[in-house]
Structure 1
Amino acid sequence: MTPKELKNRLDLRKDGKDLFYLLDVRNSNEVEISTIEGTDLLIPIGELSRRLVEINSWKESGKEVIVYCRSGARSGMACGILKQFGFAQVHNVEGGILLYSDEVDSSLAKY
């Protein structure tokens, strides 16, 4: 999913016209620098496998899960983990928060 597609989906969700979960898999110190508005939960990639119980209701809901990180690499791995554990609809934000900052919201600090 491109950053612009995510922004469009976030806008639709604000208006109640789209349903999905937005998962950040960066570390907590990275969140202090910048975060995408509308993020539902932070679970660092290194903790994802053991914290899946926290988002089991997401899987049961059938809603899409959109995952992002700094550049797209960790979120790509997270998508694989989620699929392995039965999440049917998962999407990686291409280029992560860095590309989101370039293409959507330049106020987000880059690091």
Structure 2
Amino acid sequence: MKELSQQDWKEQLENDENAFLLDVRTDEEYQEKHIPNSTQLDIFQAQKFMDKVNEFDKSKNFYVYCRSGKRSAQACQILDQVGVENTFNLEGGILDWTGETKTS
């Protein structure tokens, strides 16, 4: 897992053709505001989270975010443990995000 600043994470994500954008917040949080083109998977729903994680294409580069950066750091560690080679955590989470967002 790499902790990336907001700017580095955004620039790297925009230039990565093998990127997978993962939001690990709750359904309610995701509906309020999320980064476009992200896949939402609530880390608090442990069994569902693990089932889905095991289905992911582990060759992708995972850009992970949550509200403040703590849950996404935990998610990155889980992804690393199941064989994902590249995980990037967004420092400060969506609270500090200045890029584009949308609501559901």
TM-score (norm 1): 0.74
Are 2:5 and 1:6 equivalent residues in the alignment?
Answer: no
Q: 1:2-44, CA deviations, whole angstroms, 9 ceiling, x for partnerless residues?
A: 221232234335xxxx2210100000100111101231x1110
Q: What amino acid is the match of 2:88?
A: H
More helix by share: 1
Aligned partner of residue 57 in structure 2, secondary structure:
helix
Higher strand residue share: 2
Q: Which runs of 5+ in 1 are unaligned?
A: none
Q: Which is higher, the Rg of structure 1 or of structure 2? A: 1
Equivalent pair of 1:68/1:92 in contact (CA under 8 Å)? yes
- Flag the 1:108–1:54 CA change in 2: closer, same or farther, 3 A: closer
Contact in 2 for aligned 1:48/1:78 (Cα 8 Å): no
Gaps of 5+ in 2: none
Letter in 2 for 1:5: D
- Which 4+ runs in 1 deviate beyond 4 A? none
CA displacement, residues 54-111 of structure 1 (integer Å, 9 cap, x when unaligned): 343421xx1211110000000001111111111111111110001113xx35x779xx
- Distance 1:99-1:83 versus aligned 2 partners, 3 A rule: same
Q: Identity of counterpart residues, as a percentage? A: 32
Contact 1:6–1:93, Cα closer than 8 Å, also in 2: yes
Using CA pairs under 8 Å that are at least 6 residues apart, name the structure with larger relative contact order, 1 or 2.
2
TM-score by length of 2: 0.78
Across the aligned residues of Structure 1 and Structure 2, the Cα RMSD in angstroms comes to 2.3
Q: Secondary structure at the match of 1:65?
A: strand
SS in 2 for 1:81: helix
